[in-house]
A and B are shown apart, each in its own frame.
Chain A
Amino acid sequence: MSVVSKVLNRGRLNATTVNQFNQSIIALENIITPAEARTINSAMEARANPETNHWFSRESEWRAQFDEFSRAEGFSYAHNFVRVWNRTSATLFRTTGFDVKAPRRLLVLFTGGMNRMMVPSWVFLAHLPQRSVYVLMLRGGWEFYRDGLPGLSKDFSSTVQWVRELADDMGLTVDTVMGSSGGSIPAYLAGHALGARRRFLFALPVISEDQIARYPLTGNLKRASERVRDVGLGLTLFAGSENARDIETVAEARRRLPRARVEIVAGADHNVVEPLARKGRLNQLLEKHSISWFRPWS
């Protein structure tokens, strides 16, 4: 039995409420690879009996979601990932069949709410452009990374330094930084500080004035761009057409960052990643903007 199956079984056996079950699934979903999600689906399928499985209904919902995500265009097992290591606030993945001759690139993800890029880790990884790459997924979202990564860094600056040292130690170049919602502004600033060639921000967070006062390091994108004197080169912003404030935030950012590109996701609210993944457009857009900025990954 795989480690993931053991963790899944422990979670479902210990859970006494739906919320505890959901919490164990979410925690697992935030660190697993596409192949591991397929293993979980198989395990759930094998015990799909409402008479003997207390969590039959919830697991059926999970399997339906797995089917929908994994059948979407752009979802691929072709360039699968393995987890190199996992800590409370960070997980490092790398692609399998790693091309030793390819540039050693690091992609850094600043997750937002629920410690995810708006979708489970296995969904996001499966839509990434198929290149040899290491992926560092960070979890410190709801406080906008102000308090750092538990166990790894004490504040935002030391988080950036920790990423820089990790990349240096492994001989990796920070190629791309992405952030979603509460992780967007930290991703923007970290991407600039780390010299990333590409930055993708999914749904800039709605940050109020008092939050800016509490988190002066992050602030909003306009203030952040003023501080780093950026014009938005290599920057792609995503916003949902149905979220008026996000659209307004992106429009304001665009005025400040004239070289930035904007993708408005039709029909999407604040969560822009999930509808893109479900409709098979996430991989397409990441490919498009990865290749068109400067030079292709491969």
Chain B
Amino acid sequence: MNYRPELVTLMQKCMIFTFSGEKVDSSLFADGDDVPLSSLSIDSLAAMQFCIELEAHFGWSVTPEELLAFETVGDIARALDAHVSR
């Protein structure tokens, strides 16, 4: 299942932006593009909130350290998919 739309909503809620200040939205994933986490402005607070939201919405317990170790948003979506499918 494609969890990217939900991830985008949660990132917006956590005030995560791109480094150029653009909003995080589904157009970032247009044409199958992926988004490196390094291109997003995720500070420690935003990462913590994102993890809390992920756990609350999907029951997926990922720590901020583990989250920031992913290279792309697509990697997070795939890991989330694997968790939900289990």
Contact = CB atoms under 8 A, between A and B. Distances in A.
Interface of A: 17-20, 22-23, 26, 112-114, 118, 142, 181-182, 205-206, 208, 211, 243-246, 248-249, 269-271, 274
Nearest to A118: B45
A116 to B, nearest CB: 8
Nearest to B54: A19
Interface in B22-56: 22-23, 25, 41, 43, 45-46, 48-49, 51-52, 54-55
A22 B51 contact: yes
B43 to A, nearest CB: 6
A18, A114, A248, A271 interface centre (most CB from chain B within 10 Å) = A18
B23 A19 contact: no
Interface of B: 13-15, 17, 19-23, 25, 41, 43, 45-46, 48-49, 51-52, 54-55, 61-64
10 contacts: A19-B51, A19-B63, A20-B55, A23-B52, A118-B45, A206-B23, A244-B21, A245-B20, A270-B43, A274-B45
A118, A182, A271 interface centre (most CB from chain B within 10 Å) = A271
B43 A269 contact: yes
Contacts of B25: 208
A114 B49 contact: yes
A110 B23 CA distance: 22
Determine the main DSSP class of A at the interface with B: helix
A258 to B, nearest CB: 24
Contacts of B13: 142
B23 A18 contact: no
B17 A245 contact: yes
A282 to B, nearest CB: 16
Contact of B41 (A23, A114, A269): A269
B49 A248 contact: no
Contact of B21 (A18, A113, A181, A248): A248
B45 A271 contact: yes
Contacts of A181: 15
Nearest to A211: B23
A114 B45 contact: yes
B51 A244 contact: no
A113 B61 contact: no
A249 B55 CA distance: 33
A249 B21 CA distance: 10
A212 to B, nearest CB: 11
Nearest to A142: B13
Contacts of A269: 41, 43
Contacts of A246: 21
Given A112-B15, A270-B15, A22 B21 contact: no
Contacts of B64: 22
B79 to A, nearest CB: 15
Nearest to A112: B15
A18 B49 contact: no
B20 A18 contact: no
A17 B52 CA distance: 10
Contacts of B54: 19
B41 A270 contact: yes
A19 B20 CA distance: 29
A19 B41 contact: no
